[in-house]
Amino acid sequence: MKAYETLSKDELIKLHTQLVKEYEDVKGKGLKLDMSRGKPSISQMDMEMGIMDVLGSIADYQTEAGIDCRNYGLLEGIPEAKKLMAAMMGAASAESVIVCGNSSLAIMYDAVSRCMSHGVLGNTPWCKLDKVKFLCPVPGYDRHFKITEHFGIEMITIPMTEQGPDMDLVEELVGKDDAVKGIWCVPKYSNPQGYSYSDETVRRFAALKPAAKDFRIFWDNAYAIHHLYEDVQDEILDILSECEKTGSPDLVYEFVSTSKVSFPGGGVAAVAASKANLDEILKSMTIQTIGYDKLNMLRHVRFFKDLEGLKEHMRRHAQILRPKFEAVLKVLNDELGGLDIAKWTEPKGGYFISFESMEGCAKAIVEKCKEAGVVLTGAGATFPYGKDPKDSNIRLAPTFPTPEELSAAADLFVLCVKLVSVEKLLSACQVEL
């Protein structure tokens, strides 16, 4: 296929006429498909149903130490769950983990809220400062950005590379500006690009010398075990261990959950950090809650048993997800390869594909897809304040639709990409449409 920019004006007009007809034909099919969020599919959730059977009315509800999970106690979570979640994160020890409720996002929200209202390890509460800033690698996770926006924190974009955030820029901003209090990170199979931080990047994070004593790395290890392939799997260094080596154990909060391992709304979430950070978190937790759902923790431990049980379960997830990712990538490569109007990532894990259109086209592509019955994540959502300065990034979520629905959605998506791209090129030729 010829690159669109090499086509003459007449060729572009002819192509536009053809694409418009194809688009109107698809609109007539009345599609109603949703690729807007990275939700597990029904077949994936069906895999989890056994977790409902491990605790019955006559089950043993005691931990290995004899604690009854039906009653109060164990604010930090049951020891077996602490051990399981530590193994899921990497090399973090069980002693460095607090197991909470069903959502790591809630733990992150609480962490930012606590920093705002009470400060970090005796430092001035952020709400009493003139300016608080957060670094945001982009494209990134929209819900991270919504948290900091909610608290009125100024967000500064940091470009992502295949090795992780631009660390030269991170080191410069963190080292010189004491108003910079944190950075959002999805270090493994990042949302949405699917990049994993290199060893050098992790070590540079651990070696940061912040101007602010209360600077914290918010390390959202959401896709710690979410590989798509058995023979090609990204691994990252354990950030807590690296921070210990540099003499900065308090520098990081690490978060993880089973939201895309077990039920997305009924999983288990945890935070790992230094003893000083954990003590501060527990101080608030003793006021906030009498304890999180220990029965759910026990249910997960009994179902998965250990890290190998988690990994085996994720192999089954991968068997469902891998064909979906490969199907979308095949359509992108077959239909858009060589046209020079877009590029996209080919992740080996995680839940998303990051797509870059021609500048100024993302919103129009998303809108045309919506008009024809396919809902995508809003253009700009992967940037702070929902504003992509290039209007080019689109997050694709192949996980929820059935294979048949996914095929129809991918076909429509590439059609919309072609149509909007041609219209942009014709506009540059001053052709009125």
- Answer yes or no: are the C-beta atoms of 92 and 240 closer than 8 Å: yes
Nearest 5°: the CA angle 205, 206, 212 is 80
Q: Above 80 in pLDDT, residue 173?
A: yes
- Answer yes or no: are the C-beta atoms of 172 and 165 closer than 8 Å: no
The label of the residue with tokens 């080191």 reads: 171
Per-residue pLDDT at 36: 87
3-class DSSP assignment, residue 26: helix
Is the C-alpha dihedral spanning 408, 410, 412, 414 positive or negative?
negative
**Between the CA of residue 384 and those of 135, 179, 256, 289, what are the distances in Å?**
10, 18, 22, 31
Q: How confident is the model at residue 399 (pLDDT cuts 50, 70, 90)?
A: very high
Q: What are the DSSP calls for 67-109, one per residue?
A: -BTTSS--TT--HHHHHHHHHHHSS--GGGEEE-SS-HHHHHH
- Answer yes or no: are the C-beta atoms of 76 and 69 closer than 8 Å: no
pLDDT in tens, 282-328: 999 999 999 999 999 999 999 999 999 999 999 999 999 999 999 99
- Gap between the Cα atoms of 421 and 117, Å rounded: 48
- Gap between the Cα atoms of 221 and 225, Å rounded: 9
Per-residue pLDDT at 37: 83
364 φ/ψ angles, rounded to the nearest 5 degrees: -65, -40
Q: Above 90 in pLDDT, residue 254?
A: yes
Q: How confident is the model at residue 432 (pLDDT cuts 50, 70, 90)?
A: confident
- Gap between the Cα atoms of 281 and 355, Å rounded: 38
pLDDT in tens, 62-112: 999 999 999 999 999 999 999 999 999 987 799 999 999 999 999 999 999
pTM over 0.85: yes
**Closest alpha carbon to 346 in 193, 160, 224, 234:** 193
Q: Enter the tokens of residue 379.
A: 């253009």
Per-residue pLDDT at 431: 72
Q: Hey, do 4-44+311-428 and 61-305 end up sharing a CATH topology, with the first three levels equal?
A: no
Q: What is the mean pLDDT of residues 232-238?
A: 96
Q: Above 90 in pLDDT, residue 49?
A: yes
Q: What is the mean pLDDT of residues 258-265?
A: 93
> Which residues are registered as beta bridge partners of 33?
374
- Answer yes or no: are the C-beta atoms of 151 and 103 closer than 8 Å: no
Q: How confident is the model at residue 429 (pLDDT cuts 50, 70, 90)?
A: confident
Q: What is the mean pLDDT of residues 158-165?
A: 98
> Which residues are registered as beta bridge partners of 185?
219
**Between the CA of residue 131 and those of 179, 309, 374, what are the distances in Å?**
6, 46, 41
- Gap between the Cα atoms of 266 and 88, Å rounded: 17
Per-residue pLDDT at 58: 78
Q: Please state the CATH superfamily assignment of the domain spanning residues 4-44+311-428 in this structure.
A: Aspartate Aminotransferase, domain 1 (3.90.1150.10)
- Answer yes or no: are the C-beta atoms of 172 and 156 closer than 8 Å: no
CATH (residue range 61-305): 3.40.640.10
Q: How many CB atoms within 10 Å of residue 123?
A: 15
Per-residue pLDDT at 298: 97
Q: Above 90 in pLDDT, residue 342?
A: yes
Instruction: Return all residues near 232 (Cβ < 8 A) that are at least 6 apart.
Output: 348
What mean pLDDT is reported for the chain? 96
pLDDT more than 70, % of the chain? 100
Q: How confident is the model at residue 356 (pLDDT cuts 50, 70, 90)?
A: very high
Q: How confident is the model at residue 199 (pLDDT cuts 50, 70, 90)?
A: very high
> Where do the structural domains in the chain lie, given as residue ranges?
4-44+311-428, 61-305
pLDDT in tens, 10-48: 999 999 999 999 999 999 998 898 888 889 999 999 999
Per-residue pLDDT at 247: 98
Q: What is the mean pLDDT of residues 411-417?
A: 97
